[in-house]
Structure 1
Amino acid sequence: MSELNQIFQRAQARAGEAGLPYSGAVTPAEAFALLQGLPNVRIVDVRSSAEWQWVGVVPGAELVAWREWDPLHGMQPNPHFLQQLQTRVDRENVVLFLCRSGARSHDAAALAAQHGYSEAYNILEGFEGDKDGAQHRGALNGWQAAGLPWQQG
């Protein structure tokens, strides 16, 4: 069995164990392997525009914010999320959703699966990962800590 098939099997097993409403969950390293190994894989970064600009982005990722800052009301859901996703990413693609820590991307993967994305996956740990003992992100786990390609926004 190929490495990519093994990744899909592990991702789907995680989905079954956790009762996820989408295809599966992958680690950052697994997401990168899928991205490198298959032509129809897309990463969709659902963080806010401020996070893309100030924290960084995965090169080539589709940037579709799940929530955005409203000066009057604070962070608000993006009412156009689904439409923006459908415009930028084909439903036939393997779609890997990414956020800061894996929570917003979980919600985005669930919504995508409800709307016809049959291969929707959450990237566990997210871009920055969990907080360490000093309450800082970016070193313990996640895309950055794994040493995967990213660039400052």
Structure 2
Amino acid sequence: MKHLILALLLPVTFFFTASCQGIGGNNERIVNGVKCMVHNVSPDEFEKKLATPGVQLLDVRTPEEYAEGHLVNSRNLDHTGGVLEQNAHTLDKNRPVLVYCRSGKRSAAAATYLQQQGFKEVYNMKGGIQQWQSAGKPVE
């Protein structure tokens, strides 16, 4: 009986541990021998990273959401619509990628996807554009 309970609890525990990975802090993964990091950062930290030369800024919301307002110089690659997956090959895996969405959930998933594809340095903005705007930061 103990083994049965353990066999049932172990996958559930793994699921909750794995699903929370990367939400709060940083998440490191080795992909084809390359260390790939997802950094979950505040809007203030995200804004500082925007000043880094050569960053790639992605808005992974729908085109309709993007049209309502977005960060300056962002590229709209809808993650839920599969556009990000179709266009990931157009991005440079060696340059930092900054990703955001409305609330931070889709961008966290997009950041993990990019990490799995071998992108070395991915930054996800916690709280998304909602937190960005709440902090009084500009959108166009």
Is the counterpart of residue 50 in structure 1 residue 64 in structure 2?
yes
Aligned length: 110
Match of 1:81 among 78, 84, 92: 84
Q: In structure 2, what is the Cα distance between the partners aligned to 1:90 and 1:146?
A: 30
Q: In structure 2, what is the Cα distance between the partners aligned to 1:86 and 1:39?
A: 20
Q: In structure 1, what is the Cα distance between the partners aligned to 2:96 and 2:128?
A: 17
Query: 2:47 maps to which residue?
Result: 32
Query: 2:6 maps to which residue?
Result: none
Q: Say if 1:40 and 1:93, in contact at 8 Å, map to a contact too.
A: yes
Q: How high is the TM-score relative to the length of structure 2? A: 0.71
Identity of aligned residues (%): 32
Letter in 2 for 1:82: E
Q: In structure 2, what is the Cα distance between the partners aligned to 1:65 and 1:101?
A: 14
Instruction: State the superposition RMSD in angstroms.
Output: 2.0
Of structures 1 and 2, the larger Rg is shown by: 2
Q: Say if 1:44 and 1:61, in contact at 8 Å, map to a contact too.
A: yes
Distance 1:22 1:103, change over 3 A: farther
Q: Say if 1:28 and 1:143, in contact at 8 Å, map to a contact too.
A: yes
Letter in 2 for 1:95: V
**Which residues of structure 1 form unaligned runs of 5+?**
1-10, 68-76, 129-141
- Higher relative helix content: 2
Q: Say if 1:100 and 1:125, in contact at 8 Å, map to a contact too.
A: yes
**Which residues of structure 2 form unaligned runs of 5+?**
1-21, 28-35
Q: Say if 1:29 and 1:148, in contact at 8 Å, map to a contact too.
A: no
Q: In structure 2, what is the Cα distance between the partners aligned to 1:106 and 1:22?
A: 12
Q: How high is the TM-score relative to the length of structure 1? A: 0.65
State the 1:86 CA deviation. 2.3
